[in-house]
Amino acid sequence: MFRTIKYILTLSCDEATRLASATMDRRLSSVERVGLRMHYLCCRFCRRYRRQLHLIRQLLRRRDAQIAAEADASAATLPPDARDRIRRALIRNSP
Amino acid sequence: MDDSQPDSQTPASDPSSWVDGHGDALFRYALLRVRSTELAEELVQEALVAALAARHQFEGRSSERTWLVGILRNKIVDHVRRTAREQPADQDGATESAVADFFDKTGHWKSRPTKWPGDPSRVAEDQDFWRVFDECMGKLPGTLAHAFTLRELEELATERICQVLSITPSNLWARLHRARMLLRRCLELNWFAPET
């Protein structure tokens, strides 16, 4: 009990960033959750850190969607020699 | 009695049309994840050859593109698995300090995250931003880049990533934490808030 309270009250930025990342991959324990929330209340740098991590994730998903939808005009195209090579491989492997 | 079989079979289109029909899309997909042109080409080829062999399994439930991307994804995961296996095991320890470097002995920020000006979400449309992003990704140690790619690009479940990389969940969380910490800092320094 004492250790739990101590963990919550003394949670450092080091630990808070670890938990901020963990929330993107797993469910936090209730103690971790409370500790992290308390830390965010008084630390704008860790709040900022959390926001920026989520922004990075969001940007990557948007990029993926753009590329999948071929809405990205400047995206790379399969080079001609690779096209030929792959075509030949398909012919070679056709039943 | 059997000459009408409505939509029970939608065979995949002629494989000779795949390169023109899907080549660019598959190539881009691969290139985002492996960041090497040659390797991306190779993976597209592997995927299409595998698709050719498995053509009868295409059920027309998804689009042909989705089906091909699914096969490509498996090839990419296989590739990461192979590379991860060849990686020296102690690489992880070397990056341990990388996160510790961000905090002082009492666990406070050494260099605090700065405010990213404007509307940072608008950078998604900026090709220069993505060039910087790819450079930052390229600077990540291999073990971290693999974990990050599988999680944030392939969006695999953490259990699956642990299987692919043969690591424990806590090991994976630690790698992802380090990867995010390093990547965020790199983006801050080189794009969002360069120190003048």
Residue B21: give the domain boundaries.
15-86
With CB atoms and an 8 Å threshold, state whether A25 touches B102. no
Examine the pLDDT at B97 and tell me if it is beyond 70.
no
Same domain, B100 and B188: yes
Q: Does A25 touch chain B (CB under 8 A)?
A: yes
Q: Does A56 touch chain B (CB under 8 A)?
A: yes
Number of structural domains, chain B? 2
In a domain, residue B2? The reply is no
| pLDDT averaged over every residue in chain A | 90
In a domain, residue B170? The reply is yes
Same domain, B144 and B168: yes
Examine the pLDDT at B122 and tell me if it is beyond 50.
yes
Q: What is the ipTM of this complex?
A: 0.88
Same domain, B25 and B82: yes
Same domain, B79 and B131: no
With CB atoms and an 8 Å threshold, state whether B24 touches A18. no
Examine the pLDDT at B108 and tell me if it is beyond 90.
yes
Q: Are B192 and B163 in contact (CB under 8 A)?
A: no
B26-76 pLDDT per residue, tens? 998 898 888 789 999 999 999 999 999 988 888 877 888 889 999 999 999
Same domain, B81 and B110: no
A81 to chain B: closest CA residue:
B41
Same domain, B188 and B97: yes
With CB atoms and an 8 Å threshold, state whether A82 touches B27. yes
Same domain, B82 and B105: no
Q: Distance between CA atoms of B151 and A41, rounded to whole angstroms?
A: 29
Two tokens at A61? 């998903």
Number of structural domains, chain A? 1
Same domain, B56 and B135: no
B163-186 pLDDT per residue, tens? 999 999 999 999 999 999 999 999
User: What's the confidence (pLDDT) of residue B4?
Assistant: 42
Using only C-alpha atoms, what is the Rg of chain B? 21
Instruction: Choose the closest CB to B24 out of A13, A78, A93.
Output: A78
Q: How confident is the model at residue B146 (pLDDT cuts 50, 70, 90)?
A: very high
CATH number reported for the structural domain that contains residue B171 in this entry:
1.10.10.10
A19-62 pLDDT per residue, tens? 999 999 999 999 999 999 999 999 999 999 999 999 999 999 98
| pLDDT averaged over every residue in chain B | 86
User: What's the confidence (pLDDT) of residue B93?
Assistant: 54
Last residue of a domain, one of B47, B69, B86: B86
Same domain, B152 and B186: yes
Q: How confident is the model at residue B7 (pLDDT cuts 50, 70, 90)?
A: very low
